[in-house]
Chain A
């Protein structure tokens, strides 16, 4: 590609100027002292952001909601476009829910089992059947159908848009470049912050929920499709061209088949992202499991919330495992006949059998059992036992938890928040600029400064600092646990094997679910539950990326270090950690973004800050406030993301073989879920040309 990269011959290039060797300590000391001095000086000035710089951004938008209400029945935008769209979405989701109910519970359990069995093997069939049955057992049958219908339709729409877009981007570098900032933004902004416009224009219920879910779930479909198409080796394309393929033939016969594993991963990701939106969908009054969780939490009925949350987790696990097994099997089988009990069975026979089983199930349900809903007598809600556990633990562990919470609040959260809110805005902005300068250069410094200034100008300074303080505390706590565990896992295969299933399970669960068990112990109304939940939520990615980074250090380099007599600690400190740096820093970046998303959601349960403000704006439909808060969240997310991302790519020479830089946040996480998936997405991983 780039001429310079391919040809610059190492032998003729002049050697780089020697860098004088110096101990890092004095410089680091200067930095620390300088920052401390800045903070101390800052305290002598007026805290926060001066009112006279605050722009009335909110009021600009405040007129919109009255305009919407006035014109809803008359303006062409609504009568011609939005209202029909809204009705169509509502009708489609309702229709699917009705269809699913009419299939009856017997029919659904058999159909789920038969379909999953067909595409992913009989074990997955059993898992799917058991999963569907569990919705009934938990007593959330109707709610589960609603959630499933919303998720299914969102996923279909996301894929219908995302896959073609991804193919286009994969074939044309220009399209890819043009799409990238949008995809980045869609993946950086917590979904919560863009709900309001959807509510305003599409009302409440399924339509805005579906629209927001599609926005949230689209990026992985586009990215992984594009990645798959792009990673078809140039030589393979050359082969196709040399035999006289047309562009369409290249796409159909080479690029698409070879991108299929990556596209399948994209499907999996899109489903998981859509499930992650279930509770947020409930915020805009969409029916479903999320609604159950949210309502229960509002009434502090932890047991009921847990019960519905469990159903979400089960749905997530079933869909994740089935789609993953499906793509793995497709790869292995590649159109060969399946063998059952030693005899080959043709694909068609299997399809016929699966369809027949489903049909029989539906018939039995409709004509023999004659009952659509899961029978009452077969339910067992875990709400009561969970409530008992809550009560027990509050009685016995409540004091300890209270103490931990108090310590966390008094020791970290409060002091940091006080510091951040007491400093004048320019100190914070200067610190962000310094960080930007140090990791990347003047452009990022200016960018960071401006973003922080805008936070103030939006008029959300104190809320933002509040949220920032919680995020920083949670990030530090998460990393303090994750990095050592990751190192441990990289050193010992036994540890690695032991924690892998746990991490898999943790990464399958939607963020909100983490809040529920935390609420068992920590009282609502303080940021503590949000901190704990976000720490736990972000742990897997930190652990995984540390582990992966160290394990990816080439064996030859480790061998060389050992040949020179390095001790195990020396090997870690002087070879493995430096080489794993990019991966670990990617982990830091991911941790921050994940923590931020939970802290924002945590606004609902007392974390306060921007998240709470967003909820208020949403429930009172204050569009101006909503826009301002949404923009603030966006700014905060972008600054944190850019700085930590640049950190990971700072020293080029240290950039490890983690070939993930072209991917967004979520695919990255997933690609790292077991090295399997990173192989699956990127066959050329680690063998990059340049």
Chain B
């Protein structure tokens, strides 16, 4: 897969007076209230490490207050980490001076914000062109780029409007366009769709997926909505009290929750939509039928159901024409029943 685009090691963020002393100390493990009482500090992110590969969508999911926003803001260093390292394309972000940091923010990383963060006094095009303007791109050029990007997010013709004239969903399209206008390598999303209605949220998620197919950006996407995480993420990190409790593919998280906390979350997930043949198949054990239907390892259980219903025998699961396992009706039914 090559070197990771974003690589975080042992990241900590502690708010409060003299935060360094809390990092890695025994006090850091105290309950929140007690730690606050004793040191006046709050640990927002504790000892988090992860890598994000080029073109990967890495989703961080957790309840409100679990430290997601803080974490994502350390990746472009709008929040200074208390400890740990952040490497962007192998470059140590914390070693950068002001100038280098600005350069990275201008060219490499763009962010989409929860409450859109549009500038109310600027027209839509000027909002989209904001990043380019900051870089010093000529007015005519940046407006031309902005118009193009607006078109890409489905807002052609809205350039002269002001943010308050747009609906929430449209405003976030502008937020997305603003981030894309810089043509950054990395996109950060901090709960971008939380404030939107469910239907509009679904549209926006589809929009992100289709953009991702076209543009292959590296994305770090924050959400508190598991369905959103499962839909968008190549990998998902579940965050609790500033810590990653599990990191894995959607399927791994649903099929094998690391602890009760994660299990609690995933309980209501419709498993047929997430699990694939790979997760439920049995080893071959010599009994593999030599003919009949085959399915690929990444076939969703949902799609398996009609196949096992029609064929009243065991079905082969293949990966590159190699049989890697078998499934039958019982396996499918067991997988579905475990949902309850």
Contact = CB atoms under 8 A, between A and B. Distances in A.
B110 interface: yes
Contacts of A244: 101-106, 131, 134-135
B33 A243 contact: no
A587 B160 CA distance: 44
Given A254-B119, A334-B162, A243 B32 contact: no
Interface stretch (B5-13, B34-42, B300-308): B34-42
Contact of B36 (A4, A238, A249): A4
B interface, by DSSP: helix, strand, loop or mixed? mixed
Contacts of B333: none
Interface string B123-139: 00000001101110000
A242 B78 contact: yes
Given A3-B16, A4-B36, A7-B32, A242 B76 contact: yes
A258 interface: yes
Contact of B32 (A9, A241, A246): A9
A3 B15 contact: yes
B24 interface: no
A242 B110 contact: yes
Contacts of B182: 243
A241 B36 contact: no
A242 to B, nearest CB: 5
A245 B117 CA distance: 15
B329 interface: no
Given A3-B42, A244-B103, A246-B102, A238 B134 contact: no
A243 B105 contact: yes
Interface string B86-107: 0000000000000001111110
A548 B73 CA distance: 40
B115 interface: yes
Contacts of A249: 134
Name the interface size band of chain A: 20 to 34
A244 B113 CA distance: 15
Nearest to A12: B33
A86 to B, nearest CB: 42
A3 B22 CA distance: 15
B307 to A, nearest CB: 48
A235 interface: yes
Interface residues of B, number: 35
B133 A253 contact: yes
Interface in A1-40: 3-4, 7-9, 12-13
B121 A334 contact: yes
Given A238-B117, A244-B134, A258-B119, A3 B33 contact: no
A260 B117 CA distance: 18
Interface in A248-268: 249, 253-254, 257-258, 260
Nearest to B36: A7
B41 A236 contact: no
B36 to A, nearest CB: 6
Nearest to B105: A244
Contacts of B293: none
B105 A241 contact: yes
Q: Which of A3, A249, A254, A334 has the most CB of B within 10 A?
A: A3
A670 B128 CA distance: 36
A334 B109 CA distance: 31
Given A7-B36, A8-B36, A235-B115, A243 B110 contact: yes
B270 interface: no
A3 B106 contact: no
A240 B119 CA distance: 9
Given A7-B32, A334-B121, A243 B106 contact: yes
A243 B135 CA distance: 9
B111 interface: yes
A239 interface: yes
A246 B102 CA distance: 8
B78 A243 contact: no
B7 to A, nearest CB: 20
Contacts of A238: 73, 78, 113, 117
B283 interface: no
Interface of B: 15-16, 32-33, 36, 40-42, 73, 76, 78, 101-106, 109-111, 113-115, 117, 119-122, 130-131, 133-135, 162, 182
Interface of A: 3-4, 7-9, 12-13, 235-236, 238-246, 249, 253-254, 257-258, 260, 334
Given A238-B73, A257-B121, A258-B121, 18 more contacts: A3-B15, A3-B16, A3-B40, A3-B41, A4-B40, A12-B33, A13-B33, A235-B115, A238-B117, A239-B119, A240-B134, A242-B111, A244-B106, A245-B134, A246-B102, A253-B134, A257-B119, A257-B122
20 contacts: A3-B40, A8-B36, A12-B33, A238-B78, A238-B117, A239-B111, A239-B113, A240-B134, A241-B78, A242-B76, A242-B111, A243-B130, A243-B134, A244-B102, A246-B102, A254-B119, A257-B121, A258-B119, A258-B121, A260-B121
